[in-house]
Amino acid sequence: MIGIDLIGIGTGNPDHLTRAAAKAMNDADLILLPRKGAAKSDLVDLRRAICAELLTQAVKIVEFDMPRRADRPDYVGAVLDWHDAIAALWMEQIARHLPDGGRLALLVWGDPSLYDSSLRIAGRLPGVKVRVIPGISSIQALTAAHGICLNDLAEPVLITTGRRLAERGWPDCADTLAVMLDGHCAFQAVAAEGIDIWWGAYLGLPQEAIMRGALTEVGADIVRRRAALRKEHGWIMDIYLLRRQRPG
């Protein structure tokens, strides 16, 4: 029997991991660490640092190269094919390193349930039992960094992606949007007047960067700063909250 633990690790700061996450890591027979190329070497380095700090048992650690997602117009189809390829790699590593069964752990950015596909990928593997250990999400890290509430009093929040915001605009159902997975600063596609933004990148890490203010005043500065940070570090993970200003 193969057990798979999907462990939320927050934004890469070892302090973000719960005691349950540390225990699951130490109970594992195998931890898989994905590599995403030289430009994103910091991502595997952070996972290595987490293992070095929190492992107190001798757990086998194996690194593997992540396949690249095809850049094609059929976005959903490209993602599904990508997930199939990742699932095949997981199965290959399981067959190689856990031929008689055991427990595999994967360290998942943020929380495995929020805009992450590890659960969907694990669902492609036959005969495995999946367990989720929750982690601090980037939304929590963002609101903590700015010292704000996620929602206005008794008001809803919509969590969406940059792609959806750019394609469909501001939805009618909420005055507050938490926008994730935005590689192109989709807030530029909305009417900026009367909108506040709280933005953060590398949340919880030494290179953390945050900005806030009226979108009309800081939007262009965020675009420039994001581009400079990505050029400096070779990668960026960021998130932002948009909120319509209330009269008075």
**Tens of pLDDT along 81-132?**
999 999 999 999 999 999 999 999 999 999 999 999 999 999 999 999 999 9
d(CA 23, CA 243): 38
d(CA 31, CA 43): 15
pLDDT value for 42 = 84
72-96 burial, b at 16+ Cβ within 10 Å, e below that, comes to eeeeeeeeeebbeebbebbeebbee
For the record, the structure tokens of 91 come out as: 């199965």
154-189 pLDDT, tens per residue? 999 999 999 999 999 999 999 999 999 999 999 999
Provide the phi-psi class of 152: left if phi over 0, else alpha when psi is between -120 and 50, else beta.
beta
**pTM for the whole structure:** 0.91
Q: Name which of 103, 90, 101, 92 is nearest 130 in CA terms.
A: 103
Give, in degrees to the nearest 5, the angle at Cα 74 between 71 and 75.
Answer: 65
d(CA 207, CA 226): 12
Question: How big is the chain, counted in residues?
Answer: 248
pLDDT value for 41 = 84
Q: What is the mean pLDDT of residues 44-68?
A: 94
191-223 pLDDT, tens per residue? 999 999 999 999 999 999 999 999 999 999 999
pLDDT at residue 38 greater than cutoff 90: no
CA atoms within 13 A on the CB side of 60: 11
The residues, any chain, with a CB within 8 Å of residue 64's CB and separated by 6 or more, are 32, 33, 34, 35, 89, 93
d(CA 138, CA 144): 10
pLDDT value for 248 = 60
Q: What is the mean pLDDT of residues 42-67?
A: 93
d(CA 45, CA 150): 31
d(CA 2, CA 16): 27
pLDDT at residue 50 greater than cutoff 70: yes
Q: Name which of 18, 40, 10 is nearest 205 in CA terms.
A: 10
d(CA 167, CA 189): 9
Helix, coil or strand: residue 231:
helix
